[in-house]
Amino acid sequence: MKPVKLSRALTAALLLAVPFVSYAQEAAEPEEASSPVTWSIAATTDYVFRGVSQTDEGPALQAGLTYTAPFGLYVGAWGSNVDFGDPDPEAGVRGVDTELDLFVGYSHDFNDSWNLDVSALRYTYHGASDGVDSGDYMEYIAKVTWAGPVEVSGLVAYAPDYGDLTPKAKESYANLSASYEFGDSGISLGAGVGYTSVDYGAETIDGERFDYGVTDYFDGALTVSKAFGPATATLGYYTTFASDADLLKDESGIYDDRIALTISIGN
Q: What's the pLDDT score for residue 214?
A: 66
Given a cut of 90, whether residue 7 has pLDDT beyond it is no
Show the DSSP H helices in 199-262 as ranges: none
**Percentage helix, strand, coil for the chain under 3-state DSSP, each rounded to 5:** 5, 55, 40
Say if residues 148 and 177 touch (Cβ distance below 8 Å).
Answer: no
Averaged pLDDT, 18-42 = 64
Q: What's the pLDDT score for residue 166?
A: 58
Averaged pLDDT, 121-139 = 82
Greatest mean pLDDT among 29-38, 131-140, 153-162 lies in: 153-162
Higher pLDDT, 266 or 28: 266
Given a cut of 70, whether residue 113 has pLDDT beyond it is yes
Contacts of 213 (CB under 8 A, 6+ apart): 11, 199, 200
Contacts of 212 (CB under 8 A, 6+ apart): 11, 169, 200, 201, 202
Cα 253 to chain centroid distance, Å, stands at 18
What does the alpha-carbon distance between residue 267 and residue 168 come to, in Å, rounded to a whole number? 38
Mean pLDDT of the chain: 84
Q: What's the pLDDT score for residue 171?
A: 94
What does the alpha-carbon distance between residue 198 and residue 171 come to, in Å, rounded to a whole number? 4
Question: Band of the pLDDT at 183, cuts 50, 70, 90?
Answer: very high
Amino acid identity, position 244: D
One-letter-per-residue 3-state SS of 76-131: EEEEEECCCCCCEHHHCECCCCEEEEEEEEEEEECCCCEEEEEEEEEEEEECCCCC
Averaged pLDDT, 208-218 = 73
Q: What's the pLDDT score for residue 5?
A: 35
Cα 168 to chain centroid distance, Å, stands at 19
Q: What's the pLDDT score for residue 89?
A: 59
Higher pLDDT, 91 or 104: 104
What is the length of the chain?
A: 267
Classify domain 8-266 at the CATH class level.
mainly beta
The H or E element containing residue 151 is strand 151-162
Question: Band of the pLDDT at 130, cuts 50, 70, 90?
Answer: low
Cα 160 to chain centroid distance, Å, stands at 16
What letters, b where the CB count within 10 A reaches 16 and e where it falls short, cover 112-147? eeebebebebebbbebbbeebebbbbebebebebee
Q: What's the pLDDT score for residue 215?
A: 84
The full set of domain ranges for the chain reads 8-266
Averaged pLDDT, 207-216 = 68
Given a cut of 90, whether residue 192 has pLDDT beyond it is yes
Neighbours of 212 (CB within 10 A): 18
Question: Band of the pLDDT at 147, cuts 50, 70, 90?
Answer: very high
Given a cut of 90, whether residue 203 has pLDDT beyond it is no
Amino acid identity, position 36: P
Given a cut of 60, whether residue 57 has pLDDT beyond it is yes
Averaged pLDDT, 48-71 = 96
pLDDT exceeding 90 applies to what percent of the chain? 62
Q: What's the pLDDT score for residue 252?
A: 75
Maximum separation of any 2 CA atoms in the chain, in Å = 66
Q: What's the pLDDT score for residue 221?
A: 98
Q: What's the pLDDT score for residue 106?
A: 99
